[in-house]
Structures are given as C-alpha cells and as structure tokens.
Amino acid sequence: MKTHELFIDGAYAPAASGKTFAKISPVDGRQISVVHEALAEDVDRAVRAARAALEGPWGRMPLRQRTNLLLDLARAIERRAPEFVEAEIQDTGHTRHFSETIEIPRGAANFEIFANLLKNLGGEFFSMDTPDGKGAVNMELHRPKGVIAVISPWNAPFLLMTWKVGPALACGNAVIVKPSEESPATAALLGEVMNEVGIPKGVYNVIHGFGPGSAGELLTQHPGVDGITFTGETRTGEAIMKQAAVGLRDVSFELGGKNPGLIFADCDMDKAIEVTMRSAFANCGQVCLGTERLYVERPIFAEFVARLKAGAEALKPGGPDDPGTTLGPLISAEHRRKVLSYYDKARELGAQVVTGGGVPHFGDSRDQGFFIQPTIWTGLEEDSAVIREEIFGPCCHIRPFDTEEEAIRLANDTRYGLAATVLTENLSRAHRVGRRLEAGLIWVNSWFLRDLRTSFGGSKSSGIGREGGAHSLEFYTERSNLCVKL
C-alpha cells in the first residue's frame, strides 16, 4: 500500500504529529494509500522552506535559467507520464484514456506554456518630458509575489494543480501545495520529478490534510503566505477570503458554478446532444464548467429530452481499465451522499425523473465503490434548491422556453457566473446571446474547448480574478513602475 508523506524543502518526511488518514478508492471502496496529515509545525516548516528558496538560489536565478528548468520539468513529466496516469486514476477513478490524453499532458503543458510566456514577456515603457527638458523614462517591472499557497481540488487534480503551480514558478514564486485529501498522489509524485530536474529545494512543497482545523486552514492563516490561489466550492472560498483579509493577502479564486445551456430550435440536433452529453455527464458530472441547467426552445423540447435520455442510459459505468467505461464513479462516499440528497430533494419537489435518480447495482466489487446513475429531471420550479445550488454530479434539469429574451433571463437568474453554452446555427443569435450571458466562459456549439492563452475564471459567486496566459501574471506578480530621471 502506498504512503504519501509531506514534501518539504526538497525531501519527503512524515508529519511531525504522526497523524495519518486513509485514502479510499472510489472504484471499489478499498483503502489504497496512507496519507500523512500536516499540522501547524509542518505548515510552518513549509513556509520557512519556501521563504528560504526565495532568498536563496531560486530568488537569484536568471529568468532564462528558471524557465529552462521548467521546460525540463515538462519533458520529465512526459517521460514519466505512465506513473502520473497510474497515480491519478487510482485516486480518482478516471478512465485511463482521459488521464493519458488530457490530464497528464495538460499538466506538463502548463509548465511549458508559462515558461515560454515569461521568456517572451514584454512590459510598458514610456518616455516623458520634464520641466528641465532632459526627460525621464518609465519602465514596468514584474516581481514575484512571494510564497503562494496553492489549494487544489480533486476533480482534475494534476491538471488543475499545475495550472496554478506552472505560472507561479515561471514568475519566480515559491509554492506550498495543499492538494485535496481525496487526491494526494500526483502532487506528491511531482516533488520527486522537481528534484530530478534540479529545481532548488523549497521552491515546491506539498502538505496533505483537510480544510478547517487542518493543513488547509493552517496554511491560509499563516502570516508567511503572500498569496492564496484556490479552486473549489464557493463557501470554502468565502472562508479563505476572510482569513486572507488578515495581512491583506491577495487571492485568486475559481469557485462553483450552476452553468446554463441554451439550446435553440435552429441548432444542429446531433451536435447539441453530443455537446450536452459531455457537458452534463463528463467525469461523472464533477466538472466546475459542467451544465446542470438546460433551457430548450419549445419546438424541439420533446425530441431533445428523449435523445438526451437515450444517451444517458447508454453510458457504461466502470473502472479506469475497462475500455468500455464511459462513466466513472464519484470521488467519495461523502460526495455521493451529497449528490443523492439532491436526487431525493428533486423527487420530493415533484420533479419528473426522466431517467436515473439512484445508485446502480453490479453484483461485483463496483458495488463497494461510489457509482451513481446519470439523472435527468424536468418540471421543477426555478426557485428550487435543485435549480439554484451546485450539485456537482451527473445530472441536469431541462426546461422549455419560448423566446430568446426568456432564455437569456433564465440563464442569468443565478448567483453564479462561471460558464454557459449556446447551441444555435444562427451566427447573429450566437453573438447576440453570447454577449448578454453573465459568465466568464461562454461556448457556442462546443464545450470545454480551451485555448490556454485566453482568460479563465468566473463572475459573481464563481470567482475572483482570471487565470490563463498573460492573465495569470496579474496574480502571480507584483508590478512596479521604475521612473528614471535623465
């Protein structure tokens, strides 16, 4: 059985308290690893190691040398991709194909993309007149923010963790990563690869544990942390923001979503079903950008519901190595209980259950895992909890609409503003509707199509700040203006 120790100052070590916890497989419910839980002494040691790295070789390292190390890191991840894939699928139950083709390659790419971005980064330069006629010049400087706390989620652990660590290190910061307690393995393994390519000790640190009263809260409260970046649930983000207010530490949050999908009668129906199957059920619905609210123009409502039902019922639940698997498990027993509570609530509120609504039974080891049925509802009121609150499972509610104006109003009637999809073959409508949707990412006739140079983030209760390409520099650097009198 695997043991995941803390990775601090370039070395693996047990937690000072000796406390550990069990990581359970979402596929069959067996224990797959023992994880050391960091408490105050460990967090303090990680912060001191990160600070020492900034004051030592990492802080003095020329940009070209630093970015070349990150390019070496990307290549090393690619060479060791099978180990990262194995670690990821053991923790999450994701299909091997998803990890091999998306999660781990994107994780490596996050270091390459940001290393190359920093190599070619320009800045503002202004010349100005002065009363004595000699003039002055103004130059923009980018400085690393310092010690960055990276709190990453379990739904795409390696991809989303490196999405933060990549730009943080490229900008010259040191990081302390607190991965989810449900997905410790790939963050832990990355420490080994950091050492392999020669990243100085203390630049990358990993502490394991939980949130309140554990590693997460201790890290966000530590006065030696200069910035906190977090992906996860909105209420957790609110709690972290309160802690970050002490010392006025900067925050970058990608939080929850209750994302709408608008399907117009002029859509390509085959394309609309294909896009919605992915946006509603990919990764067993555990995607912050997923679509849980669907609004379908009335003339095609019945056909759309019937075809999405057929698609959901054709999904095949299974483990990572079954080549026929198209639906993995939820991450944990606790999360399944949460999702099932919404399934129960929908029935209590009088929803029509088009399909699903429960737990599948297999007659094998999967019955000890955390599988759940993909579920579709109709008939609920817009003010119900099932419509208002993020469920984060393979489910969606479908409602008909009659006018474009009604569709936009329904889509925007939410506290969230992360993502939205629009399915239409009318180019004018695509522009017209897309511009009025209150979301950070809006897709037309697609979903999850990402150019990593573009901005990523949500509005309203879905986040603060933007990540991606040059947008990440707003959080990971401090800008200064150097004015030189000539």
Question: What tokens were used for 274?
Answer: 């294909």
Question: What tokens were used for 216?
Answer: 């997460």
Q: Contact at 8 Å (CB) between 439 and 259?
A: yes
Q: Contact at 8 Å (CB) between 387 and 378?
A: no
Which residue in the block uniquely carries the two structure tokens 């698609």? 311
Any idea what the Cα angle at residue 152 is, between residues 105 and 412, rounded to 5°?
95
Which burial class, exposed, middle or buried, applies to 458 when counting CB atoms under 10 A from its CB (0-12, 13-18, 19+)? Answer: buried
Q: Classify residue 478 by its DSSP letter.
A: E
The catalytic residue among 171, 284, 288, 396 is 288
Question: What tokens were used for 361?
Answer: 């039974």
Question: What tokens were used for 160?
Answer: 């989303």
Does 395 participate in catalysis according to the annotation?
A: no
Does 288 participate in catalysis according to the annotation?
A: yes
Which H helix or E strand runs over 217? helix 215-221
Residue (of 183, 203, 160) closest to 69 by Cα position: 203
Question: What tokens were used for 152?
Answer: 């990453």
Which burial class, exposed, middle or buried, applies to 386 when counting CB atoms under 10 A from its CB (0-12, 13-18, 19+)? Answer: buried
Question: What tokens were used for 295?
Answer: 């609004």
Residue (of 78, 76, 143, 73) closest to 111 by Cα position: 73
Cβ neighbours of residue 65 under 8 Å, at least 6 residues apart?
Answer: none
At residue 43, the 3 state secondary structure works out as helix
Torsion over CA: 239, 236, 223, 250 (sign): negative
Any idea what the Cα angle at residue 6 is, between residues 3 and 7, rounded to 5°?
115
Q: CA-CA distance, 423 to 446, in Å (whole number)?
A: 8
Question: What tokens were used for 3?
Answer: 């043991």
DSSP for 348-384 reads HTT-EEEE--S----SSGGGGS-----EEEE---TTS
Burial 92-130 (b: 16+ CB within 10 A, else e): bbbbbebbbeebbbbbbbbbbbbbebbeeeeeeeeeeee
The catalytic residue among 5, 103, 181, 254 is 254
Just list the catalytic residues.
254, 288
